[in-house]
Amino acid sequence: MSLFEDAAVRNAAFAWLKERVGYHGDVLPYEELRRGFEFRGERVPLLGPQGIFKPRVLDLPLTITTAPSGPYADAFGIDGLLRYKYRGTDPEHPDNRGLRRAMARQVPLIYLHGIARGRYVPAWPVFLVGDSPERLTFTVAVDDDAHLRLSTVDRVSEADEDTRRRYVTATVRQRIHQRAFRERVLDAYRSICAVCRLRHRELLEAAHITPDRDPGGEPVVSNGVSLCKIHHAAFDRQILGIRPDHVVQIRRDILEEIDGPMLLHGLQEMHGSRIAIPRTARFRPDPDRLAARYEQFLRA
């Protein structure tokens, strides 16, 4: 396959991913990734049975995948870049050789990070920037999609490119952690708003009890509550509080305000109700975190 044909398939894959992310948000379902897209009459899937995947239309891998609970310990290193494990322990396995060839040619790939069963966060383009046979890992950096559209004369220096890739990779890492937190919290709450019981997952968010910028704001389920967008905003702005005994309180001035049906039914009528909590005890809101957050609400 020529470099031109290879690039055409990869660009089609990137365009398809962009369209799917625009539809679903940046957490994509397994079945859609496995089904993939059509290119010149042939189906091009983005997922296969193994983490390193080369569709039939290409000579080199297209995607690398971290499974939600897979056998490989893929992780971000202290330099902020991803360490992606070889397939197996043989550096000369055909899949590992395929990635090595992709690295030599600096072919852009797609990274699919599994954050929950059947749900993946995609990042593209990614490039292999290091190979460590002794550790059985490749080093992976995420780049800006705009980089692919630059001409050779427009390209920046290697130092600037490295800085940009580290920054973009750090941004993707943060996005993966945020999406993983949301998916775990929403799963624990059975995809409902804890306050109003709204069941449309696309309208739900994972609210931190202790903000993630604060000490103790870890992205663990017991530090989260599944809330719809309205109640999340009200919680963050101290309009809505949750007592340690899981009772909802609405700020006094909001209770006394007269407005339309949204204020009445969406906020005022929630006062004194109890939130839904996860069935699993270890996923329920941490009472100490709730108490500290409720103190902030009372001072507002």
Domain boundaries, the chain: 3-184, 190-299
User: What pLDDT was estimated at residue 1?
Assistant: 74
Positions of the chain with pLDDT under 70: 70-73, 147-156
Whether the CA torsion 269, 271, 273, 279 is positive or negative: it is: positive
pTM: 0.84
Fold of the 3-184 domain: PUA domain-like (2.30.280)
pLDDT tens, 7-55?
999 999 999 999 999 999 999 999 999 999 999 999 999 999 999 999 9
Paired with 207 in beta bridges are 225
User: What pLDDT was estimated at residue 151?
Assistant: 46
Q: Which residue is it, tokens 């398939």? A: 9
Cα 149 to Cα 108, 189, 206: the distances in Å are 12, 43, 36
**β-bridge pairing 240-242 and 248-250:** antiparallel
User: What pLDDT was estimated at residue 69?
Assistant: 73
